[in-house]
Structure 1
C-alpha cells in the first residue's frame, strides 16, 4: 500500500495528528495493534488528563472539545503543593494566569473517543485516512526517496514519511535506531476516582509526603449522589502499590483516608483501580531519515507537572504545521530540512521543563534530612516570590 504518511499508533496523539492533516491533500495510513473496538470505544483507564488552555484551543481546532460531555470537563482553578506533614502549601491560583481557570481535567478515554470521532467525521468527508487496526509493525526502513513499514502479516506500506506515536516505549523508534534517555523511578502509580466528604474547591494537590507522593485531581461532582469527587494518584514502590491495589474496596478507602491524613474526611472508591509504571523518557533525536516521533514516543514525562499529553498536542501542532507548509510550498514532506525544523522547535519547547521535572522529582522524593529541609525552604521561598508563582501559573495554562 502506498501513502504519503504512515502513522504508527492510534492513541490520542496519533489520532489528533491524523485529524490535523486530514483535508490537506495527503494520503495517510494509521497502524494500531489494538482492535477497532478498543480504539473507537475506549474504556476508563483511571487517567485524568490536565489540559492547559493551549491544549483546549488545539482540541477545539481539531474538533474534539465539543464532543466531550461538559459535565466530564472539570475546571482546574488552583494548584497546591504540600511538603511532608505540614498543613501549609504553595498555592497557585487562576488569578495569576489571567484566566478564569488554570486548565481543565478530562478523562483520557474520553479524549481518545473524541479524537476517533473527529477523525472519522473528517475522513468521511475527505477519504484520506485509512486505519489498519489489530496490526503490528515488524520492521521499518528508510531510504533517500521513501520509507517503508512492514506489518507482521507480511504487508508492506510505503510512504514519504513515517511517524511514530506508539508510546514512550516505542518499538518503532527503536527499529529506527534512535536511542532514548530512560529513567525508571522504580515506582508505580495507582490511579482511581474517589468521593470524599470535604470539598476540593477545584484545586489540584501535589503532596510530597515522606516515602510517598500523593496527587488529587478535582473532578466534577458524582452524578447520582452529587458527592465531591476527585481522581487520586498514589506513587510508591511497585510492590507496595500492588498490595494496596489488591485491598477490598472498603479497606482500600480507609487506607487512602489515612494516607491523606483524613484531610478529605470519609472517602469511598468510585471507579476501577489502575496501576502504571513510572518511567520518564527523552530520545536522543526526534527525527531520522524520513521519520519523526510525537507524543510519548518523543517526550515521556513524569506526571508531576501534568504536561505529558499537552506536549503531545504541542508536537502535533508543530509537526503538522511543518508538514502542511511543505505540502503547500511543493516541498518533500519527509525532507531532512522539514523534519529538522520540527525537532528544533519541539526540543526547545520541551527540554527545559523535562529537565526541571526531573530535578523536582529528585529533590522532592529524597527523604534525607538535608533534602527535607531544603524542599521546605524552597516551598516557603516560592510562596513569597510572585514572579515565580506567575511563571508556574503560565506553565499550567500553557
Structure 2
C-alpha cells in the first residue's frame, strides 16, 4: 500500500515493522528491499517527491558501482530508469599538474580485470524518477511526503508522530536523512568531522570524440579531477561528467568564469586531449568537501544508514555506494530476524548491523582520507613515490584485480 498525506484528520495509528526517515536514494532503496521481504514499511520525507523529478539536464550524475547496480536491480529501481545509463568499462588513474601531460607511470583497470563493467553513470534526474516509481509501485510501503516526523523511542518500540497528525508504531526507525541527521542528533550520537577546506565543482562536458566507456581519475596538487563517461542525449552524443576539486576560494572563482575560460580550465586539468574539443553544458555546482563518521550507528530502536552514518571525500567515488553497502548488510540482518519471528529492532539485531558495517566503513574512510593527503600535494618526493606505486600496482595483475573488485563493491 502507498499513500500521500492529504487528510486533515488523524487516522488511527499505523503498525509498521520499520519506519524510514528520509526518501533519498538510500532510504528508498532500503524501503523497497525490506518490503520485498514481506515487511510493512513507512517512509517519511519533508519534501514532496514528484516535484523533485526535474526533467531538465543539469549536469549532475551518480557513479554507481557494480555491486550497487545489483542492489538497485534487486530493488526494482534499475529497470525503471527513464533514460540510458552508461557502463564504465575502463578506469585510468594518472598523476600530474594542470596544463602539463600526465605522468607516464599510471594505473589502468580494463575489461580483463573484471567479468562485468566496473559500474555505471546515471543522471541524477533519472535516478529520482526511478526511485519514486519503485517506491509507489512496491506493495507494503506507505509514503508520507511532504511530512515531518517526531520520534519517541524506548525499549519496547518507537512511536512516530508526523506534522500532518499521523501516528505510526514501529519496531525500528532508520535515519536516512543525510549528513545533518536530526535523528542522530536527537540520539546524541557523537560525530567526528574532518574538514578539507576544499570544494568540488560538478558539471558536464560535451566532447568531440567518444569516451568508449573510459573514466579518468587525474590527481593534481589541489585535489583530484575526474572525468566520468555518461550516456548520450539527443543534444550531446558524446558526454561526460566532471568532478573537480579545488580550494574553497579557487573553486567558487573558477565556477563563475565565463564559458570559454571555464572550458579552458577544464582542458588544462584533463591531462591530455584524448576527448578532443570540450564544451561545458548544463549547470555548474559547487559543494564543500569534508569527511565525517558517527561514533556509533545504533541507539535504542534506531539505526543510521548512508550519510547519516558516514560521509567521505569523493576522491574514490564511494560515498553513495558505501550507503548502498549499509543497505545490503541491514537487509540481510533485519530480514533474517523477521523471518524467524524475532524483533527487527532488538538490541542484538542492531549490534550485528553495527559490527558488520562500521569497521569496514571506517577502513574505507581512512583509505580515501589517506589518498587525498598523499595525492593532493606537490611534494616532489611523494610525487615520485606515488607514481611508482601506481605503476607497480598496474604491473601486478592479482593486486590490480583485487583493487578493482573492492571498488566495484563485490
CA distance in 1 between counterparts of 2:291 and 2:165 reads 33
Is 1:73 the equivalent of 2:85? yes
2:399 counterpart (365, 388, 391) = 388
Tell me how far 1:348 sits from its aligned partner: 4.3
Runs of 4+ in structure 1 off by over 6 angstroms are none
Q: 1:45: how far off?
A: 5.6
SS in 1 for 2:120: strand
The separation in 1 between residues aligned to 2:262 and 2:405, in whole angstroms, is: 36
Q: 2:62 aligns with which of 49, 52, 61?
A: 49
Q: Against the structure 1 CA distance between its residues 186 and 3, is the aligned structure 2 distance closer, same or farther, given a 3 Å change threshold?
A: farther
Which residue number in structure 2 is paired with residue 220 of structure 1?
231
Distance 1:217 1:195 in 2: 12
Q: How far apart, CA to CA, are the structure 2 residues paired with 1:201 and 1:24?
A: 39
Equivalent residue in structure 2 for 1:238, among 240, 248, 266:
248
The one of 30, 36, 39 equivalent to 1:26 is: 39
Q: TM-score, normalised by structure 1?
A: 0.90
- Higher mean displacement: 279-288 or 39-48: 39-48
Q: TM-score, normalised by structure 2?
A: 0.88
Tell me how far apart the structure 1 counterparts of residues 67 and 289 of structure 2 sit (CA, whole Å).
26
For 1:43 and 1:148, the matched residues in 2 are separated by 39
2:158 aligns with 147
Q: 2:134 aligned with 1:118, yes or no?
A: yes
Q: Identify which of 328, 345, 351 aligns with 2:339.
A: 328
Return the alpha-carbon distance in structure 2 between the equivalents of residues 387 and 262 of structure 1: 29
Secondary structure of 2:39's match? coil
Conserved? CA contact 1:305–1:357, under 8 Å: yes
Query: CA distance change for structure 1 residues 25 and 388 in 2, over 3 Å: closer, same or farther?
Result: closer
Inter-CA distance 257–275: structure 2 relative to 1 (3 Å threshold): same
Q: 2-side partners of 1:175 and 1:41: how far apart?
A: 32
Partner of 2:385: 374
Report how far residue 167 of structure 1 moved.
Answer: 0.8
Distance in 1 (alpha carbons) for counterparts of 2:192 and 2:176: 17
Residue in structure 1 matched with residue 143 of structure 2 by the alignment: 131
Shift of 1:385: 2.3
Residue of structure 1 equivalent to 2:172: 161
Conserved? CA contact 1:3–1:29, under 8 Å: no
Cα distance in 2, alignment partners of residues 132 and 348 from structure 1: 33
Q: C-alpha distance in 2, partners of 1:29/1:39?
A: 20
**Cα offset for 1:176?**
0.9
CA distance in 1, matches of 2:34, 2:52: 19
Which residue of the other structure, out of 260, 267, 279, is the alignment partner of 1:250? 260
Q: Give the deviation of 1:97 after TM superposition.
A: 1.5
Q: Is residue 291 of structure 1 aligned with residue 308 of structure 2?
A: no
38 and 367 in structure 1: CA distance in 2 versus 1, 3 angstrom threshold = farther
- Cα distance in 1 for partners of 2:56, 2:182 equals 24
Which of 361, 368, 384 aligns to 1:350? It is: 361
Supply the distance in 2 between the matched residues of 1:168 and 1:325 (Cα, whole angstroms): 28
In the superposition, relative to structure 1, how do residues 133 and 40 fare at CA in structure 2: closer, same or farther (>3 Å)? farther
Q: Does the CA-based 8 Å contact 1:50-1:103 persist in structure 2?
A: yes
C-alpha distance in 1, partners of 2:352/2:129?
A: 31
CA–CA distance in 2 between the matches of 1:342 and 1:222? 41
Aligned partners of 2:282, 2:406: CA distance in 1, in Å?
A: 30
Distance in 1, matches of 2:114 and 2:14, equals 47
Mark the CA change 1:356 to 1:42 in structure 2 (over 3 Å): closer, same or farther. Answer: farther
Relative to structure 1, the CA distance from residue 225 to residue 325 in structure 2 (aligned partners, 3 Å threshold; closer, same or farther) is closer
Q: 1:81 deviation in Å?
A: 0.9
For these two proteins, the number of residue pairs brought into alignment is 390
CA deviations on 1:46-77 (whole Å, 9 max, x unpaired) are 432222222222111111111124x6210101
The answer to whether 1:98 aligns with 2:115 is yes
Describe the SS at the equivalent of 2:42: strand
8 Å contact from structure 2 (residues 49, 132) kept in 1: no
Conserved? CA contact 1:39–1:116, under 8 Å: no
In 1, distance between residues paired with 2:236 and 2:197?
38
Partner in structure 2 of residue 179 of structure 1: 190
After superposition, the Cα gap between the structure-2 partners of 1:222 and 1:41, relative to the gap in structure 1 and judged at 3 Å, is closer
> Out of 46, 50, 54, which is 1:37 matched to?
50
| Match of residue 107, structure 1, among 117, 123, 131 | 123
